[in-house]
A and B are shown apart, each in its own frame.
Chain A
Amino acid sequence: MQSLRWRAIAALVVLVLGLAYMLPSIPGVKDSAIGKILPGDSVNLGLDLKGGINLTLGVDMDTAMDNNLARLGDDLKAVARDKEIFVLRPNVLNESQIEVVLLKSEQKDAFEDVINKYTQFAIENTHLMDGGKEKYVLTISPQYRKDIEKLTMEQAIKTIRNRIDQFGVAEPDIRRQQDNRIQVQLPGLQDPERAIKIIGQTAHLEFKMVDDAADVAKAQQGILAPGRELAVLLKKLPNGQYAESPIVLKRDAVLTGEYVTDAKVQLDNWNSPYVAITFNARGGAIFTNLTTENVNKRMAIVLDGKVYSAPVIQERISGGRASITGQFNREEARDLAVVLRAGSLPAPVEILEQRSVGPSLGQESIDNGVMSAFIGMAMVLGFMVIYYSFAGLVADIVLCLNIMLILAGLAAFGATLTLPGIAGIILTIGMAVDANVIIFERIREELRRGLSASQAVAEGYGRATLTILDANVTTVIAAVILYQFGTGPVRGFAVTLTLGIITSMFTAIFVSRILFELYLKSRSDSAKLSI
Chain B
Amino acid sequence: MGLQIIKPDTKIDFIGLRKFAFILSAIIILAGVASLLIKGGPKYGIDFAGGMIVQVKIDKTTDVEMVKDAVRGVELPGLVVQTLGLDGDHEYLIRTSSSNITSEDVRSRVTTALSDNLDGAHFEIQRLEMVGPKVGADLRTKALEALFYAVLLIAVYISGRFEQRWTIAGVMAAALGFGVYGIGLLGLEMGWLIIAALIITVALCWYLKLNYALGAVAALIHDVIITIGIFSILGKEFDLTIIAALLTIIGYSLNDTIIVFDRIRENNNARKGNTTFAAVINTAVNQTLSRTIMTSVTTLLVVFCLFVLGGSVIHDFALALLIGVGVGTYSSVFVASPILLGFGPSAQETSEA
Question: How far is it, in angstroms, between the C-alpha of A364 and the C-alpha of B255 when the chains are bound?
Answer: 33
Contacts of B2 in A (CB 8 A): 386-389, 391-392, 530-531
Question: How far is it, in angstroms, between the C-alpha of A422 and the C-alpha of B305 when the chains are bound?
Answer: 13
**Any A CB within 8 A of the CB of B298:** yes
Contact of A478 (CB < 8 Å), options: B104, B132, B150, B321: B150
Q: Which single residue of chain B is at the shortest CB-CB distance from A478?
A: B251
* Contact A427 B146, beta carbon cutoff 8 Å: no
- The smallest C-beta distance from B259 to any residue of chain A, in angstroms, reads 5
Contact of B248 (CB < 8 Å), options: A360, A371, A437, A478: A478
CB within 8 Å for A470 and B262 given contacts A58-B134, A369-B311:
yes
**Any B CB within 8 A of the CB of A104:** no
Contact of A430 (CB < 8 Å), options: B104, B300, B311: B300
Contacts of A490 in B (CB 8 A): 240-241, 243-244
Contacts of B303 in A (CB 8 A): 376, 426-427, 430
Q: Which single residue of chain B is at the shortest CB-CB distance from A55?
A: B130
Contact of A354 (CB < 8 Å), options: B130, B298, B309: B130
Docked complex: A70-124 residues within 8 A CB-CB of B: none
Contact of A372 (CB < 8 Å), options: B104, B305, B313: B305
* Contact A420 B132, beta carbon cutoff 8 Å: no
CB within 8 Å for A427 and B1 given contacts A196-B103, A482-B244:
no
* Contact A383 B240, beta carbon cutoff 8 Å: no
Contacts of B240 in A (CB 8 A): 486-487, 489-490
The interface stretch among B137-145, B184-192, B274-282 is B137-145
**Any A CB within 8 A of the CB of B336:** no
Q: Can you list, as one digit per residue, whether each of B1-43 has a CB less than 8 Å from chain A (1) or not (0)?
A: 1111000100000000000000000000000000000000000
- The smallest C-beta distance from B297 to any residue of chain A, in angstroms, reads 7
* Contact B299 A427, beta carbon cutoff 8 Å: yes
* Contact B314 A420, beta carbon cutoff 8 Å: yes
- The smallest C-beta distance from A437 to any residue of chain B, in angstroms, reads 5
* Contact A365 B311, beta carbon cutoff 8 Å: yes
Q: Which single residue of chain A is at the shortest CB-CB distance from B301?
A: A379
Question: How far is it, in angstroms, between the C-alpha of A473 and the C-alpha of B124 when the chains are bound?
Answer: 44
Contact of B129 (CB < 8 Å), options: A197, A356, A369, A477: A356
* Contact B104 A383, beta carbon cutoff 8 Å: no
* Contact A372 B146, beta carbon cutoff 8 Å: no
Question: How far is it, in angstroms, between the C-alpha of A441 and the C-alpha of B6 when the chains are bound?
Answer: 11
**Any A CB within 8 A of the CB of B149:** yes
Q: Can you list, as one digit per residue, whether each of A402-433 has a CB less than 8 Å from chain B (1) or not (0)?
A: 00000000000000000110110011011101
Contact of B310 (CB < 8 Å), options: A423, A429, A475: A423
Contacts of A2 in B (CB 8 A): none
CB within 8 Å for A380 and B243 given contacts A444-B8, A481-B150, A481-B153:
no
Docked complex: B302-322 residues within 8 A CB-CB of A: 302-306, 308-311, 313-314, 317-318, 321
Q: Can you list, as one digit per residue, whether each of A465-496 has a CB less than 8 Å from chain B (1) or not (0)?
A: 01100111111011101101111011001100
Contacts of B295 in A (CB 8 A): 430-431, 433-434, 437
Question: How far is it, in angstroms, between the C-alpha of A377 and the C-alpha of B1 when the chains are bound?
Answer: 23
Contacts of A48 in B (CB 8 A): 313
**Any B CB within 8 A of the CB of A375:** yes
Q: Which size class do B's interface residues fall under?
A: 35 or more
**Any B CB within 8 A of the CB of A154:** no
Question: How far is it, in angstroms, between the C-alpha of A355 and the C-alpha of B55 when the chains are bound?
Answer: 11
Question: How far is it, in angstroms, between the C-alpha of A441 and the C-alpha of B292 when the chains are bound?
Answer: 10
* Contact B103 A419, beta carbon cutoff 8 Å: no
Docked complex: A249-275 residues within 8 A CB-CB of B: none
Contact of B250 (CB < 8 Å), options: A423, A431, A478: A478
Contact of A426 (CB < 8 Å), options: B8, B135, B290, B302: B302
Contact of B298 (CB < 8 Å), options: A56, A380, A423, A441: A380
* Contact B135 A379, beta carbon cutoff 8 Å: no
Q: Which single residue of chain A is at the shortest CB-CB distance from B103?
A: A354
CB within 8 Å for A434 and B305 given contacts A353-B135, A354-B103:
no
**Any A CB within 8 A of the CB of B294:** yes
**Any B CB within 8 A of the CB of A36:** no
- The smallest C-beta distance from A312 to any residue of chain B, in angstroms, reads 35
* Contact B290 A441, beta carbon cutoff 8 Å: yes
* Contact B124 A471, beta carbon cutoff 8 Å: no
**Any B CB within 8 A of the CB of A192:** yes
**Any B CB within 8 A of the CB of A301:** no
- The smallest C-beta distance from B253 to any residue of chain A, in angstroms, reads 9
Contacts of B287 in A (CB 8 A): 445
Contact of B3 (CB < 8 Å), options: A357, A387, A441: A387
Q: Which single residue of chain B is at the shortest CB-CB distance from A528?
A: B1
Question: How far is it, in angstroms, between the C-alpha of A494 and the C-alpha of B248 when the chains are bound?
Answer: 9
Q: Which single residue of chain A is at the shortest CB-CB distance from B127?
A: A357
* Contact A427 B305, beta carbon cutoff 8 Å: no
Contact of A474 (CB < 8 Å), options: B8, B127, B241, B255: B255
Contact of B302 (CB < 8 Å), options: A58, A430, A471: A430
* Contact A472 B255, beta carbon cutoff 8 Å: yes
* Contact B130 A353, beta carbon cutoff 8 Å: yes
- The smallest C-beta distance from A320 to any residue of chain B, in angstroms, reads 35
Q: Can you list, as one digit per residue, whether each of A345-363 has a CB less than 8 Å from chain B (1) or not (0)?
A: 0000011111111101100
Contacts of B103 in A (CB 8 A): 192-193, 196, 351, 354
* Contact B241 A353, beta carbon cutoff 8 Å: no
Question: How far is it, in angstroms, between the C-alpha of A389 and the C-alpha of B2 when the chains are bound?
Answer: 5
Contacts of B131 in A (CB 8 A): 352-354
* Contact A481 B1, beta carbon cutoff 8 Å: no
Question: How far is it, in angstroms, between the C-alpha of A179 and the C-alpha of B308 when the chains are bound?
Answer: 40
**Any A CB within 8 A of the CB of B230:** no
* Contact A368 B302, beta carbon cutoff 8 Å: no
**Any B CB within 8 A of the CB of A438:** yes
- The smallest C-beta distance from A24 to any residue of chain B, in angstroms, reads 26
CB within 8 Å for A477 and B150 given contacts A360-B124, A426-B305:
yes
* Contact B294 A387, beta carbon cutoff 8 Å: yes
* Contact B247 A482, beta carbon cutoff 8 Å: yes
Contacts of B294 in A (CB 8 A): 387, 433, 437, 441
- The smallest C-beta distance from A291 to any residue of chain B, in angstroms, reads 37
Q: Can you list, as one digit per residue, whether each of B240-267 has a CB less than 8 Å from chain A (1) or not (0)?
A: 1101100110111011101100110000
Contacts of A433 in B (CB 8 A): 294-295, 298
**Any A CB within 8 A of the CB of B271:** no
Q: Which single residue of chain A is at the shortest CB-CB distance from B153?
A: A477
- The smallest C-beta distance from A189 to any residue of chain B, in angstroms, reads 12
Question: How far is it, in angstroms, between the C-alpha of A360 and the C-alpha of B312 when the chains are bound?
Answer: 13
* Contact A380 B104, beta carbon cutoff 8 Å: no
Q: Can you list, as one digit per residue, whether each of B165-188 has a CB less than 8 Å from chain A (1) or not (0)?
A: 000000000000000000000000
Question: How far is it, in angstroms, between the C-alpha of A196 and the C-alpha of B128 when the chains are bound?
Answer: 13
**Any A CB within 8 A of the CB of B107:** yes
Q: Can you list, as one digit per residue, whether each of B60-97 has a CB less than 8 Å from chain A (1) or not (0)?
A: 00000000000000000000000000000000000000
**Any A CB within 8 A of the CB of B197:** no
**Any B CB within 8 A of the CB of A384:** yes
**Any A CB within 8 A of the CB of B351:** no
Question: How far is it, in angstroms, between the C-alpha of A351 and the C-alpha of B131 when the chains are bound?
Answer: 9
* Contact A371 B309, beta carbon cutoff 8 Å: yes
**Any B CB within 8 A of the CB of A448:** yes
**Any A CB within 8 A of the CB of B44:** no
* Contact B305 A364, beta carbon cutoff 8 Å: no
Contacts of B139 in A (CB 8 A): 487
Q: Name 16 A/B residue pairs within 8 A (Cβ), A-sorted.
A: A48-B313, A356-B127, A368-B309, A371-B309, A372-B309, A375-B305, A376-B306, A377-B302, A423-B310, A431-B252, A444-B8, A470-B259, A481-B153, A490-B243, A497-B248, A531-B1
Other contacts beyond A426-B310, A482-B146, A493-B244: 13, CB < 8 A: A356-B128, A365-B311, A369-B314, A375-B305, A376-B303, A386-B2, A420-B314, A426-B306, A427-B302, A431-B299, A437-B294, A471-B258, A474-B251
| Minimum-distance CB pairs A-B, first 3 | A430-B299, A376-B302, A368-B311
